[in-house]
């Protein structure tokens, strides 16, 4: 039998990450001016206050209501899977709890401020993809000299997604196993 987390432990994970996310964003919003930046570890790691009105990596969205609705739907889906997998292993439950906490954190920002507060600013490595043609499609190229600024909620979603993807690759889809077990006839 897989060891699973209680609903209380999953709720604690979500609340702790959410509080850490919202407290750090509050400190940044009230203690810095927009665009202000402090070096922490030279130019490698800086605290930089930016506001992101779009999606991850600064992708703009024209219809904010549609985007808010899709964000809300994504959060509801994560909670649905948390419910469906409430008796499964703690790894899946922890990763989904982290994803839920991050989704709620950024959703709160969008609801309260209309944009997400970001401040973790790292210089990892540059990315440069040259432009190319593939059949009838033209890719204009992409270049990034500094990573997009992010926050605790983004980090929580990222860690949760990485753990979940590794879990799915190594151990398979837990919902698929549930469906298989529920469709097998019972012999009595």
Query: Which residues belong to the active site?
Result: 118, 154
- Nearest Cα neighbor of 56 from 166, 151, 165, 161 is 151
Name every residue whose Cβ is closer than 8 Å to that of residue 123 and which is 6 or more positions away in sequence.
43, 44, 45, 146, 147
Q: Is the dihedral of CA 40, 98, 93, 166 positive or negative?
A: negative
Q: How big is the CA angle at 158 (ends 119 and 161), to the nearest 5 degrees?
A: 165
- Nearest Cα neighbor of 125 from 96, 99, 158, 147 is 147
- Nearest Cα neighbor of 10 from 72, 71, 79, 76 is 79
What are the phi and psi torsion angles at 56 (to 5°)? Answer: -60, 150
Point out which residues pair with 133 in neighbouring strands: 138
């Amino acid at each position: 039998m897989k060891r699973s987390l209680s609903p209380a432990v999953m709720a604690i994970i979500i609340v702790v990450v959410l509080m850490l996310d919202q407290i750090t964003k509050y400190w940044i919003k009230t203690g810095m001016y927009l665009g202000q930046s402090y070096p922490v570890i030279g130019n490698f790691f800086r605290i930089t206050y930016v506001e992101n009105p779009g999606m991850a990596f600064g992708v703009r969205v024209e219809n904010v209501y549609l985007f808010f609705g899709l964000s809300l739907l994504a959060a509801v889906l994560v909670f649905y899977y948390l419910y469906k997998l409430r008796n499964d292993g703690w790894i899946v439950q922890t990763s989904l709890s982290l994803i839920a906490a991050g989704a709620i954190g950024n959703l709160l920002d969008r609801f309260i401020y209309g944009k997400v507060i970001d401040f973790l600013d790292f210089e990892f490595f540059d990315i440069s993809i040259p432009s190319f043609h593939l059949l009838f499609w033209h890719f204009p190229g992409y270049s990034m000299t500094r990573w997009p600024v992010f926050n605790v909620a983004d980090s929580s979603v990222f860690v949760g997604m990485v753990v979940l993807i590794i879990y799915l690759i190594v151990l398979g889809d837990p919902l698929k196993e549930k469906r298989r077990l529920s469709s097998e006839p019972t012999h009595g």
